[in-house]
Structure 1
Amino acid sequence: MDLEVRHLKVIRAIDEAGSLTRAATSLGLAQSALSSQLKRIERALGGALFIRDRAGAQPTPLGELVLDRARVLLPGMRQLQEDAQRFAQSWGDIPRFRIGGTHGPLLGALVDRISAMHPDAPVNTFTSWSVKEICDLVGAGRLDFALIGVCGESPPPAADQLSWQAVGRDPVFIMLSEEHPHAGEGELELGKLAEERWANAPGDGCFGDCFSAACARAGFTPLSVFETDTSSCIHLVQVGRAVGLCRATFPPTPGIVTLPLAGTPLSWRHLIGHHPGSPAAGAAPAAALHARQVHSEAARRNARYAEWLAANGQFGTAS
């Protein structure tokens, strides 16, 4: 017999009642039935859980061990059930989904997941290089959720207006042409790229300044930085015109390899936010869970990142 939650409830009831007779009454069972059930539980666990005499039932050392674990597990199971019920109910309150995000693969994957769950609900998206613009639209009620990223340990934007939950934390990788001399290395010192030109997507955060600071610590100033859309960045890398900066979840792309930088001088945090007073607030925990699942799947698709994560547990999908 495998131990089940209901068995833990029986053990706890006997301990709280102090006797099988009173426990049977509280559980709505005959004493003989409770006694038989307790014997089956004790056989499954390998020993007596209670000493029974005229004074009642007192836990044995094994019983104390089981009770200690039950005091943790039973509230946890109750919380799980309550969270699951809220999760199941929250999505039904929103007739449509309006999601804003910066350019990247996570937004598309989140839309795909929500569309699969709610095939009849409209899903609208808005993309922008400007995190501020997206946050302003969420604050004004024109978007329900913002899926964005911030550099390093920068605080979330509009923290006085929006509520944020962590999705994941990634190192910034570099993109190289597969013909690049360093393409076969496991990781790369930033200083080895001092003579390169760079390609990166634009944004209104501090990433550009943080990149310049990292280069300065490595002993050089970037020759030039092409700020352009993702497709153009990929093209410039593929033809060997530039080295690209990318999130570690960047998907496998023909002609390109991605590598971690030694010492992880740059990092990126993915966040999902909503306005606490909006109709979407009830669905925020579910939205965050789906965003984390999307992030975890993206990390697994990049074999280089999945290998790197195994040795760098402080990064990856938020729990």
Structure 2
Amino acid sequence: MDLELRHLRTICAIAEAGSLNKAAAALGLAQPALTAQLQRIERTLGGALFVRDSRGTRSTPLGDLVLARARLMLPAVEGLRQDVTALVGAERTGQYRIGATNGPVAAGLVQLLSAVRPANPASVHATWSADEICAKVRSERLDYALVGACNPSVPHGGDGLVWQPVCVDPVWVLVDESHRLAGRAEAALAEFAGERWASAPGDGCFTACFASACAQAGFTPRQPLEMDVGGCIDLVAAGSAVVLCQGTVRAMPGVVAVALAGSPLRWRHLLGWDPAGPAAAAAVEVHGLAVRAYLDVVAQRPRYADWLGANPGFGAQPVTAAGISRR
């Protein structure tokens, strides 16, 4: 007899119940039938898995070994089953599965996809890790990556994917409303030398890009405090730190976004996909909807819309065959 997953489940059930009678009831079997099955399993494995005494059924050293392996294998197999079910279900329904880091596009893209293809709902996996998202696109657990990166880089984990910029935004600085530079339309990066910085976590190259820009401006920034986006905003509002932000940042009480003169830092939002995967066929359409979602955000930010009008090269990036790149 070959050992099967159902046999491992039986062994685990006996160990968890602590007796053959209780395990048989939990499995919906007669106790003699369970005993006979256990004996066949033990013959296959070459030794006793349990001993019975006045305290109930206890595992033997061989039983401990088999249980340890079973308790690793069974959840893994169940996870595989769930992932396969999700993948097959998504392929059957045409659902778009999007992985997104923090940015202005994801929410609007989901709404537009739902409006354009109401029979094919979109789902979003949100995380700060672009590398995690890229890995899931490569393994076909996600269809599209919607992530940010410094210009002109693409995520480190994006090997083999096709990338198309959705938009290019300047990086500004968020300060509290009483900050010495809060009344300025723009300020040089050097004017922020000595500030306490805060930032959200990420696994891209932005930290190095920021340090390089500061070096060119003639100073070395203090080590940023790393915390979630909400915590960063709270620090700014309290006057305890300043935070780099995207030009699309929404107006919030107590804080002000100051543009950086000359835009020494910029941030690209990229849509990525596997060129050999099923998502490639709809990539141009999804990119177009992502651009629409971005433009909807800009329309709600009149100050930023005016800034874009005076600074060509930034803003939405329409898809072109020449603009699609593979790392």
Contact 1:138 1:146 (8 Å CA) reproduced: yes
* Offset at residue 159 of structure 1 (A): 5.3
Cα deviations across residues 40-76 of structure 1 (Å, max 9, x unaligned)?
A: xxxxxxxxxxxxxxxxxxxxxxxxxxxxxxxxxxxxx
Distance 2:118 2:252 in 1: 30
Give the TM-score taking structure 1 as reference length: 0.67
Equivalence for 2:190: 191
Q: 1:94 to 1:287 in 2, by over 3 A?
A: farther
Within 1, Cα distance between the matches of 2:172 and 2:116? 32
Indicate conservation of the 8 Å contact 1:175/1:257, yes or no.
yes
Match of 1:313 in 2: 312
Find the counterpart in structure 2 of residue 279 from structure 1.
278
Structure 2 Cα separation of the partners of residues 185 and 139 of structure 1: 45
Give the Å deviation of 1:301: 2.2
Q: Shift of the alpha carbon at 1:116?
A: 2.6
Question: 3-state SS of the aligned residue for 2:186?
Answer: coil
* TM-score, with length taken from structure 2: 0.66
Alignment of 1:214-225 (within 5 A): 214-225=213-224
Which amino acid in 2 is paired with 1:253? M
For residues 262-307 of structure 1, give each alpha carbon's deviation from its aligned partner in whole angstroms, at most 9, with x where no partner exists. Answer: 1111011111011122222211111000111111222232233212
CA 1:253–1:204: 2 relative to 1, 3 Å: same
1:128 aligned partner: 127
Q: 1:187 to 1:167 in 2, by over 3 A?
A: same
**Which residue of the partner structure matches residue 96 of structure 2?**
97
Instruction: Tell me how far apart the structure 1 counterparts of residues 159 and 215 of structure 2 sit (CA, whole Å).
Output: 34
Q: Secondary structure at the match of 1:109?
A: helix
Displacement of 1:224: 3.2
What's the offset of the Cα at 1:172?
A: 0.5
Given that residues 181 and 258 in structure 2 are in contact (C-alpha distance below 8 angstroms), is that contact kept between their aligned partners in structure 1?
Answer: no
* 1:29-48 Cα shifts (integer Å, max 9, x gaps): xxxxxxxxxxxxxxxxxxxx
Q: Name the counterpart of 1:206.
A: 205
Correspondence list, 1:28-43, <5 A: none
**CA 299–221 in structure 1, closer or farther in 2 if over 3 Å, else same:** same
Q: For 1:298, what is the secondary structure of its paired residue?
A: helix
Alignment of 1:117-266 (within 5 A): 117-155=116-154, 157=156, 160-266=159-265
**Aligned-partner SS, 1:183:** coil
CA offset at residue 156 of structure 1?
Answer: 5.1
Q: Which residue of 1 aligns with 2:293?
A: 294
Instruction: Please give the secondary structure, in 1, of the residue aligned with 2:178.
Output: coil
Q: CA deviation at 1:120?
A: 3.6
Give the SS at the match of 1:105: coil
Gaps of 5+ in 2: 1-90, 319-327
Q: 1:304: which partner in 2?
A: 303
- Summarize deviations over 1:16-36 as a string: whole Å, max 9, x none: xxxxxxxxxxxxxxxxxxxxx
How far off its partner does 1:204 sit? 1.0
Query: Residue 237 of structure 2 contacts residue 254 of structure 2 at CA under 8 Å; is this kept in 1?
Result: yes
TM-align CA RMSD: 1.9
> What CA distance in whole angstroms lies between the structure 2 residues aligned with 1:296 and 1:305?
11
Deviation at 1:153, TM superposition (A): 1.3
CA contact (8 A) 1:200 1:246 kept: no
Measure, in 1, the Cα distance between the counterparts of 2:141 and 2:275: 14
